[in-house]
Amino acid sequence: MCLSDFVRAAMFVVCLFLAKLSVFADKKEFMDTTLALDGINVVREYKPYIEVIPAQKLEGEQLQRLNSHSVADAVRYFSGVQLKDYGGVGGVKTLDIRSMGTNHMGVFYDGIQLGNAQNGQIDLGRFSLDNIEEVSLYNGQKSDIFQPAKDYGSAGTIYLRTRRPQFDEGKRTNAKFILRSGSLGLIDPSVLIEQKLSENVSASVNAEYIYADGKYKFRYKKVFSDGTIAWDTTAVRENGDLHSLRIEGGLYGKMKGGKWNAKIYFYDSERGIPGAIVNNVWKTSQRQWDRNFFMQGAFQKKINSWYEMLVSAKYALDKMRYLNPDTTLMYLDNRFKQGEVYVSLANKFKMTNSWEFNASVDNIWNTLDASLTNFVYPTRYSALVALATAYKSKEWKVQASVLGTFVVDKSTATSGTGSETERIKRFSEYTPAVFVSYKPVESFPLNFRAYYKKIFRMPTFNDLYYTDIGNANLKPEYVSQYNWGFQYQSALNCGILSGLSARADAYYNEVTDKIIAVPKGTGQYRWMMMNIGRVKIRGIDVNAQARLILPYDIESSINVSYTYQRAQDYSDPTDNEPGAGTYKGQIAYIPWHNGSVVVHLDYRKVEINYSFIYVGERYHNSSNIPANYEQPWYTHDFSAGYSFDVGKAKMKLSAEVNNLLNQYYDVIVNYPMPGRNYKLILKIEI
């Protein structure tokens, strides 16, 4: 960690304290905690306020009501998020937060990060909401220092918390059955069984099967910059079928001063890859097979009044096969196998009632095997050490951390004579973070917050070692993050309004040494990964929520989010040709404006849900010219449900209409999304 990082962090905190002193010179006015009333001392109870950097969350019933099946569909409603969706039920779905890149997003499943050393991307489409209790999105990092070191190692994080069994008094078994069917040939049954094994131990099993032929109509239209139409036709999307099976099992235990859990996960799928609509090719024949397995566990125990420990471990094995049988392009039948072993120990020390300290150590082993010619079979060992501290008072909440990352990569290259050469590459870095939250008036629910964080992401195995395009000399990709914001949250009870919250954040991010593919040599047909990218990102995120109590026993909630982003490419100052250059252009697929509106209505046993998503104009290349322009798109989704009882079974029948106005659009250019589509859902809980 360089001196400038410490200076920036220190200046950041000093400025905030000076601002506080200048505005509130008379601190005593806000420190009184006791009032005298006719000889009776009334002491105001201090209630800890919200997190230093609060998360955007979807949980419980709110999560289930969205017209969403996978985690990827649900996170579209968060501000500051860009979802890359290649279309259909089986299309790969990855997430980018605040334009920093998909690989800077950490995805945690029950507290342990999902890894992909091969390409760094997690397909969120393979995680169903049927077994998810909460989805949380954090900018910077989670506002809890008692975490494994891995939690400090991403620019942004998504936490997926699965359902932990809860039983009514006298009940030992819970069962939930869900059946979905609808457009795109969808048949999707799932089952969840929870069993109480003892007073302190419970188990759950969740299984889901998805079949879809993936066929849907789309409109293919090309408009020239002068407004004339080149072509406009309607066709059917082919080779987008999906067959998948997901099985999860969990054990959950509690003890005096602690808890533990163990989980096993298996996912097996075969899918068609419909490909891009280019050169008048409407159907492709590529296929992909995925088989993902992991088992993980965590043990948390409070040893005494000042020390608590958290032990986590995981083993993962992922296999993938990609087949392109089209010999007119290039026949490919590539197979990959990657393994991961992860162990972690976190130690939290309670120094005083207001001050805590955490020390975490993680160790990770990653391997990759592939059927590629001249592959180097890399192995990566990573050690992460995190030191963090947290202080809180009635007005202030401060967290600071330093993450040390130590990486050793080993690879084996085979020469033309058959001799093998082992290459060892070492890397180490220290990265700081400072988070501050300030509440000026105890009785008024308004908080101000700010943070600075520097972090990086290691090049993936594909970046470094993929045959012919990999570059073993790549450096990590660095991000500096600055954030300023506020949050107002109140349980108002004024007329029909029963709750109101609002939050806004302004931020500046800078990505340096960005890894991008550039032409290799004089031709455009061979490429190599290089550290020449640089991106500057300025943005504003706004969220507002309200709960309403309406006449005739109607309850309602409204959630509105909006994001403005200016994400510019500063990679090559010489590429500034007017009307064609990329310098200072908005980077690919980042809209200037996007937002969403979600409305829920409850009337006794009937619920109605409406959601609207808008993504503004953008370009599919940093060269912001008319040929690269992508039009805005929006969708209206609507659903209605009715709950009823049959004996002891609780049942719910729902109907969904997605893309109500049949908007034809692409999230990724030449990958058309489905138009209007339908879904029927039957849920039975026993």
Tokens at 423, concatenated: 């290459």
First to last CA, the chain: 55
Over 80: is that where the pLDDT of 245 sits?
yes
pLDDT for position 95: 79
Higher pLDDT, 530 or 673: 673
Query: 267: which residues sit within 8 A by CB, 6+ positions away?
Result: 126, 244, 245, 246, 247, 290, 291, 292, 293
Higher pLDDT, 126 or 649: 649
Judged by DSSP in three states, 152 sits in: helix
The model's confidence at residue 252, banded by pLDDT at 50, 70 and 90, is: very high
pLDDT for position 9: 44
Task: Count the Cβ atoms, other than its own, within 10 Å of residue 479.
Answer: 26
* Residue for token pair 């048949």: 187
pLDDT for position 416: 58
Pair type for strands 355-370 and 379-392: antiparallel
DSSP string, 543-555: EEEEEEEETTTEE
Give the tens place of pLDDT for each residue, 473-488.
888 999 999 999 999 9
The model's confidence at residue 627, banded by pLDDT at 50, 70 and 90, is: confident
Query: What type of residue sits at position 288?
Result: Q
Give the tens place of pLDDT for each residue, 511-566.
998 887 766 554 444 567 788 789 999 999 999 999 888 888 899 999 999 999 99
The model's confidence at residue 283, banded by pLDDT at 50, 70 and 90, is: confident
pLDDT for position 68: 67
Over 70: is that where the pLDDT of 21 sits?
no
pLDDT for position 124: 81
Cα separation values, 323 from 317, 566, 585, Å: 20, 38, 36
Higher pLDDT, 301 or 82: 301
Query: 41: which residues sit within 8 A by CB, 6+ positions away?
Result: 34, 35
Over 80: is that where the pLDDT of 405 sits?
yes
The model's confidence at residue 117, banded by pLDDT at 50, 70 and 90, is: confident
Judged by DSSP in three states, 262 sits in: strand
Over 60: is that where the pLDDT of 315 sits?
yes
User: Which of 10-14, 47-51, 84-88 has the least mean pLDDT?
Assistant: 10-14
User: Which of 237-251, 336-350, 418-432, 508-522 has the least mean pLDDT?
Assistant: 508-522
pLDDT for position 277: 84
Judged by DSSP in three states, 224 sits in: coil
Q: Which residues pair with 364 in a beta bridge?
A: 342, 382
Over 90: is that where the pLDDT of 665 sits?
no
* Residue for token pair 């309670």: 350
Over 80: is that where the pLDDT of 346 sits?
yes
pLDDT for position 211: 94
For residues 632 and 639, is the Cβ–Cβ distance under 8 A? Answer: no
For the chain, what is the radius of gyration of the CA atoms? Answer: 26
Over 80: is that where the pLDDT of 280 sits?
no
For residues 313 and 340, is the Cβ–Cβ distance under 8 A? Answer: no
HSE, side-chain direction, 13 A CA sphere, residue 579: 2
- Range with the largest mean pLDDT of 126-140, 454-468, 647-661: 647-661
Q: Which segments of 34-139 does DSSP mark as H helices, in order?
A: 60-65, 71-74
Torsion of CA 72, 74, 79, 80, to 10 degrees: -10
Over 70: is that where the pLDDT of 37 sits?
no
Q: What is the mean pLDDT of residues 420-430?
A: 89
Over 70: is that where the pLDDT of 437 sits?
yes
Nearest one of 81, 84, 250 to 594, comparing CA atoms: 81
CA distance 281 to 108: 39
pLDDT for position 454: 95
Instruction: Tell me what the pLDDT averaged over the chain comes to.
Output: 85
Q: What is the mean pLDDT of residues 148-160?
A: 92
Over 60: is that where the pLDDT of 269 sits?
yes
The model's confidence at residue 151, banded by pLDDT at 50, 70 and 90, is: very high
Query: 364: which residues sit within 8 A by CB, 6+ positions away?
Result: 115, 150, 340, 341, 342, 380, 381, 382, 383, 384
Give the tens place of pLDDT for each residue, 197-220.
999 999 999 999 999 998 988 887
Give the tens place of pLDDT for each residue, 568-584.
999 888 888 877 788 99
Three-state SS for 350-384 is: ECCCCEEEEEEEEEEEEEEEECCCCCCCCEEEEEE
Give the tens place of pLDDT for each residue, 603-624.
999 999 999 999 999 998 888 9
CA distance 545 to 68: 20
CA distance 345 to 252: 19
Tokens at 188, concatenated: 């999707």
Task: Count the Cβ atoms, other than its own, within 10 Å of residue 193.
Answer: 17
User: What are φ and ψ of residue 186, in 5° steps?
Assistant: -75, 130
Nearest one of 326, 234, 331, 239 to 276, comparing CA atoms: 239
